[in-house]
Amino acid sequence: MTGHRPASRAHAQRGSLAVTQAAMLCVALLLAGVVVVQAAALLHAARVAGAAADGAALAAVTATQPGATTTPTAAAGTIARAHGADLVACECGGPRSHVRVSLPVESRLLAALGITTVRAEADAALVEAPGPAPTVPPDWDLHPTAGAPDLWFTR
C-alpha cells in the first residue's frame, strides 16, 4: 500500500492542475464573451449614431426649403432625439447642413473602472442640390454649360 501513495499524490496534483486550468479557461472565455458583446454593442451604437446624424442632416436641409413648418435645428434635434442621441452641434440654416450627434451607450465592460457610459459620435454634412441630380457620371465626356453653375454639366 505504501507504494501507492506517491502515485496517488501525483494523480491528485494532476487533478488539481486540471481544475485550475479549467477555471482559468472559463474565466478567459467569460472575459472574451464580455468583450465581444461590448464591442458589438459599441459597433451597433456607432451605426445608430450614423443613422441619427444622416437623418438629422437630411431633416435640417429639408427644413430650409420653402413651406417648411419647423426650423432646421429643431428638425435635426427631433430626429436625433428619436434615435436616442443628443444633437451636439448643428450648423444649419443655409444650403449646407452639418450636424454632430452623440449617442450614450451603457458600458458593462468598463463599469468596474467607474466608466458607466461610452458615447458614440457621428457627423454628417449635406448640401442641398440646386436642381435635379445629374444622370451622367461627372468624369464622362462632360463640358461645362455656358451660363450654368459650375456644378452642372451636359454632354
The reply to whether 47 sits near other proteins by the rule CB under 8 A is: yes
**Helix residue ranges, H only, 3-146:** 4-62, 72-82
The reply to whether 119 sits near other proteins by the rule CB under 8 A is: no
The reply to whether 70 sits near other proteins by the rule CB under 8 A is: yes
The reply to whether 127 sits near other proteins by the rule CB under 8 A is: no
Q: At a CB cut-off of 8 Å and minimum separation 6, what does 78 contact?
A: 59, 70
Query: Which of 118, 73, 128, 71 lies closest to 100, judged by CA?
Result: 73
Q: Are 102 and 46 in contact (CB under 8 A)?
A: no
Q: Single out the segment in contact with other proteins by CB under 8 A; choices: 7-15, 28-36, 98-106, 142-150.
A: 28-36
Beta bridge pairs of residue 124: 99
Q: Phi, psi (5° rounding) for residue 130?
A: -75, -10
The reply to whether 90 sits near other proteins by the rule CB under 8 A is: no
The reply to whether 77 sits near other proteins by the rule CB under 8 A is: no
Q: Single out the segment in contact with other proteins by CB under 8 A; choices: 4-12, 70-78, 95-103, 133-141.
A: 70-78
The reply to whether 64 sits near other proteins by the rule CB under 8 A is: no
CA dihedral 12, 13, 18, 23 (to 10 degrees): 100
- What is the contact surface with other proteins in residues (CB under 8 A)? 18, 21-22, 25, 29, 32-33, 36-37, 39-40, 43-44, 47-48, 51, 54-55, 58-59, 62-63, 65, 67-70, 75, 78-79, 82-83
